[in-house]
């Protein structure tokens, strides 16, 4: 299986020696569930060209980003157009955080900065019937770090999971093979911890950051979520 990771960003340089890149995090997360997978990376935010033929890869995954899907960056419209081409080619597509948002925007939904502010730390989510079938669980726990939200669903999209902080926390698309989640199943607690320590009292209010730090000792369902993503991307759950 050939899986292309569309890099919509990389961590700040200070974090990369300890934690690597977003693409590297996804590779470490998915490899146990996709033995034999051949990963490729396209540094989209850095201006690398997108594949000329969406059928060149078996599946695609869009990473997170510190940019907003609604911001005026020259690389965002070509990425949206490419995602629509991937959908038309019926190649499985997945997105996480910014990937979740840019997919929703590309397919006719709406993304906005949430008036509720930051959603950070370990979060519990209830799965819909579709989400329970994909992830084999009625609830999922995962790590979050975001302000933006999908506020209007694209046509043909259905919720996979939700909580009060992220009502549209996961989507599955019924007209073509695509799924996305708002949280970060690929992030390790150590990376979220470093982000929170750097942002506390500056970008994230200190009491919220402290509560999020305390939440990181709890269990998460990263392996279970990886199994669901792997089944979907390999076509087994399409």
Cite the active site residues: 97, 184, 186
CB 125 within 8 A of CB 161: yes
Structure tokens at 89: 């080619």
CB 111 within 8 A of CB 100: no
Half-sphere exposure in the Cβ direction for 217 (13 Å, CA): 4
CB 37 within 8 A of CB 31: yes
SS3 15: helix
Phi, psi of 81 (to 5 degrees): -60, -40
Please report which helix (H) or strand (E) contains residue 154, including its range.
none
Please report which helix (H) or strand (E) contains residue 213, including its range.
helix 206-215
CB 155 within 8 A of CB 173: no
Handedness of CA 120, 99, 189, 191 (dihedral sign): negative
Structure tokens at 160: 């996979």
Please report which helix (H) or strand (E) contains residue 114, including its range.
none
The DSSP code for 59 is E
């Amino acid at each position: 299986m050939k899986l292309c990771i569309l890099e919509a960003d990389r961590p700040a340089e200070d974090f990369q020696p300890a934690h690597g890149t977003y693409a590297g995090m996804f590779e470490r997360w998915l490899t146990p569930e996709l033995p034999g997978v051949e990963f490729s990376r396209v540094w989209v935010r850095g201006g690398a060209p997108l594949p000329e033929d969406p059928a060149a890869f078996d599946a695609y995954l869009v990473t997170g980003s510190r940019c907003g899907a609604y911001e005026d960056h020259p690389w965002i419209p070509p990425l949206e157009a490419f995602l629509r081409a991937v959908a038309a080619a019926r190649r499985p597509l997945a997105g996480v955080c910014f990937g979740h948002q840019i997919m929703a925007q590309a397919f006719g939904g709406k993304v906005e900065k949430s008036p509720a502010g930051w959603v950070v730390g370990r979060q519990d989510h209830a799965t819909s019937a579709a989400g329970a079938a994909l992830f084999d669980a009625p609830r999922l726990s995962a790590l979050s770090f975001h302000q933006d939200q999908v506020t209007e669903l694209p046509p043909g999209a259905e919720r996979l999971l939700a909580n009060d902080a992220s009502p549209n926390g996961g989507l599955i698309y019924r007209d073509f093979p695509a799924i996305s989640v708002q949280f970060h199943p690929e992030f390790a607690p150590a990376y979220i911890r470093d982000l929170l320590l750097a942002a506390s009292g500056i970008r994230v209010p200190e009491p919220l950051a402290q509560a999020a730090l305390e939440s990181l000792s709890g269990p998460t369902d990263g392996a279970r979520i990886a199994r669901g993503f792997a089944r979907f991307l390999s076509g087994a759950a399409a």
